[in-house]
Amino acid sequence: MTAPSARPGRAPGFAHDEPDLTPDPNLPPVALPAEHEEKAARWTLPKIILWAAIALLGAVAWTMLAIVRGETVNAIWFVFAAVCTYLIGYRFYSKVIERYITRPDDNRATPGEVRQDGKDYVPTDRRVLYGHHFAAIAGAGPLVGPVLAAQMGFLPGTIWIIVGVVLAGAVQDYTVLFFSMRRGGRTIGQMARQELGRIGGTAAIIASLLIMLIIVAILALVVVNALGESPWGVFSVAMTIPIALFMGVYLRYLRPGKVTEVSLIGFVLLMAAIIGGGWVAGTEWGQAIFHLDRTTIAWGIIIYGFIAAVLPVWLLLAPRDYLSTFMKIGVIVMLAGAIVLVRPEITVPAVSVFGENGMGPVFAGPLFPFLFVTIACGALSGFHALIASGTTPKLVEKERQTRFIGYGGMLMESFVAIMALVAAISIDQGIYFAMNAPAAVTGGTVEGAVAFVNSLGLTGVNLTPDMLTSTAAAVGEESIVSRTGGAPTLALGLAHIMQQALGGQALMAFWYHFAIMFEALFILTAVDAGTRVARFMLQDSIGAWVPKFRDVSWRPGVWITTAIMVAGWGTILILGVTDPLGGINTFFPLFGIANQLLAAIALSVVLAIVAKRGRAYVKWLWIIALPLAFTAVVTITASMYKIFSDVPSIGYWANHFRYRAAQDAGDGSLGEPAVVEAVIRNTAVQGTLSIIFVVLAIIVIIAAIVVTIGAIRRGGGENTEEAAVVSRRYAPAGFLATSAERELEKRWEPLLRDERKATSAH
């Protein structure tokens, strides 16, 4: 047998029990030799100087944020601290994970290559797939969580977003993606059943399905709140659907492989949709057609979610994801550049009074644990495990691309979260609280918002009616009061910064709706991708009794399971839209807890898988165990607060019984009878789900610990990976190909061109 270090495409130190794959000698090499990796990893003086400079700049930035800060802090330090930390994390920490835990082999074919069917299993260009994956994971979470958590001050959130993603979020995304790919693209629920046994696996599947409902519902609720009564926003977002369909057809049939070309066309069309939205909103017919209430928009998203989830992935999901990723990354990078140019001064304290007393108006609860469940997707998100084990592993072209897509994709989402936080804290604090406080306390009016915000007694805050009306007029909206959900606040912050760098006050409305559109694009992508993954999970679960459902090409099964999942999250969405206490304000804590509980479940499965790989992996188990232990403590503690706290603004059941007592006593001080009834219903749903989620997660964690300890004692466990198949294609590992990768890519281009022609012919 060939020595592991000499096998092409394998990291040095590869386990000896891996299969020895011999590529077809009639084809060009399917992987670069290991010597190439070793040569690329060698340190040179320029590399040493570069990384020393990055580390020094990052250290200075963190010092300015955490130690030196005065009455104000310059926003550029957020950018530098984030970027430098991400670069170091990706270059070093993710390489450790690749070398010692995942150990990819490009000689081995991925499920997309082995099972290629043109629908769910399609080997996809790494850049397009990065876009699809990033768009699917970067929904509302990195936008909403940091904006809501800004009420606690900037420092706790900044530390959790940047450090948390390097040590937790990106680790989860990368490892789940890799191990799902090695198992044919099995969902996290399927892997849990295989790795943790019947009890742990069943609990994980039920938890995953239920948690998915709340996650997708809250994602959709953010879109509803952003687009409600906004004809400009509704028109622009609606136009992205036909644009995406055109791109899908263009890329598959008209000009296969022309990714850059179709992206430029799509970008021009999107700009036209935004500019056209402003014109349409100014017409009578535009107001009549696109000025929709939130309930109507919610039903539109429910219908859209069903249709998008049953369409072929190449027609809507993949092309729109790539374009929206191109847009979102471009906007975030542009915003970061504008922050460096404008250098806005942040007046929000490092830790606010609400961070100290835990009784903020946006959400209530102590900094620990609620900051860590409020800021979910920007640092660690269980939802990502569903995407990383649902659609993405079926589209991966080569194994070594999983680090770039999984770990790198999560780092970019974290950067989105940091930019959202900076945008939220860069606007006037009075306007921030007026936008994010629920209508129940502001009355939804300018006067009510002014009275409420000024009653908070915040230092330096003196909100006036003119500040709210003039800001709304500047961004082309009728009102900005109680625009909860994070998206409008982020859009306002982005517009505030961008107009200083480019265009001035005259372009405020354009930048605001530009931000609303690209936020809605991403959230809708997460909605239909999440629905698709949930459908896969439900099909597999029902398939245990009715095997036909496991056939993902059986259309009746696809439609039935999709309809069930859409009905589930659609029901919660309608509850959120009609919630008197503000859907986001009351449902988002449950979203955050459920999301992080799902992350604990995913990390539990990965822990068991790594332990089963053998003794050589045991000393690296801490890389998985560290984020698992932290998120387990955080989420279980937060769940206990929401279930048992006797403070109505924190505990679901405390609030439930408070409103029930008022209803029984005929006390109308808490609202009209319909309002009281709605709160009683919603808090019962939230409280019940909280109990179910935490119990199921604890069962899974215990099962994973038992399996892990057993595997360590035995020196390994059952290998549940699919049989290795020799690869017959090649593609570079990262976004930018090295010179050696480009040379090998040229040798493969004629063969892959023929494949694309054959695919487009079908």
Residue 53's alpha-carbon distances to 40, 59, 87, 88, 91, in angstroms, are 20, 10, 12, 11, 14
In the 8-state DSSP scheme, what is residue 366?
Answer: -
Question: Which candidate, 730, 546, 707, 686, places its Cα nearest to that of 191?
Answer: 707
How far apart, in whole angstroms, are the C-alpha atoms of residue 762 and residue 742? 29
Question: Which candidate, 36, 10, 34, places its Cα nearest to that of 21?
Answer: 10
Position 2 scores a pLDDT of: 37
CB 262 within 8 A of CB 245: no
CB 202 within 8 A of CB 699: no
Amino acid at 648: P
In the 8-state DSSP scheme, what is residue 10?
Answer: B
Which two three-digit tokens encode residue 380?
A: 């660690």
Question: Which candidate, 143, 294, 164, 158, places its Cα nearest to that of 219?
Answer: 143
How far apart, in whole angstroms, are the C-alpha atoms of residue 99 and residue 13? 7
> Under 8 Å CB-to-CB from 455, ≥6 apart: which residues?
none
How far apart, in whole angstroms, are the C-alpha atoms of residue 252 and residue 230? 34
3-state SS, residue 178: helix
Phi first, then psi, for residue 73 (nearest 5°) are -135, 140
3-state helix, strand, coil in the chain (%, to 5): 70, 0, 25
C-alpha radius of gyration, the chain, whole number:
25
The label of the residue with tokens 């430098």 reads 84
How far apart, in whole angstroms, are the C-alpha atoms of residue 685 and residue 678? 11
How far apart, in whole angstroms, are the C-alpha atoms of residue 241 and residue 229? 20
Which two three-digit tokens encode residue 572?
A: 């919660």
Domains located in the chain, CATH noted: 46-229+292-714 (1.20.1740.10)
In the 8-state DSSP scheme, what is residue 316?
Answer: T
CB 744 within 8 A of CB 236: no
How far apart, in whole angstroms, are the C-alpha atoms of residue 159 and residue 368? 13
How far apart, in whole angstroms, are the C-alpha atoms of residue 29 and residue 402? 20
> Under 8 Å CB-to-CB from 67, ≥6 apart: which residues?
none
Position 10 scores a pLDDT of: 42
The label of the residue with tokens 């660690």 reads 380
How far apart, in whole angstroms, are the C-alpha atoms of residue 133 and residue 138? 8
Q: Could you report the per-residue pLDDT of 46-99, keeping only the tens digit for each?
A: 999 999 999 999 999 999 999 887 678 899 999 999 999 999 999 999 999 999
The label of the residue with tokens 């990052």 reads 58
Which two three-digit tokens encode residue 730?
A: 């090649």
Which two three-digit tokens encode residue 545?
A: 């009794």
**Max Cα distance, the chain (Å):** 84
| Dihedral class, residue 100 (left if φ above 0, else alpha if ψ from -120 to 50, else beta) | alpha
CB 138 within 8 A of CB 328: yes
Question: Which candidate, 194, 34, 206, 185, places its Cα nearest to that of 107?
Answer: 34
How far apart, in whole angstroms, are the C-alpha atoms of residue 509 and residue 502? 13
CB 365 within 8 A of CB 585: no
How far apart, in whole angstroms, are the C-alpha atoms of residue 282 and residue 418? 34
CB 144 within 8 A of CB 222: yes
Question: Which candidate, 638, 649, 743, places its Cα nearest to that of 697?
Answer: 638
Which two three-digit tokens encode residue 481?
A: 């009061």
With a cut of 50, list the residues of the chain below it in pLDDT: 1-16
Position 181 scores a pLDDT of: 96
How far apart, in whole angstroms, are the C-alpha atoms of residue 76 and residue 48? 25
3-state SS, residue 105: strand
CB 9 within 8 A of CB 105: yes
Which two three-digit tokens encode residue 252?
A: 């598959």
CB 635 within 8 A of CB 701: no
| Sign of the alpha-carbon dihedral angle for 194, 195, 200, 203 | negative
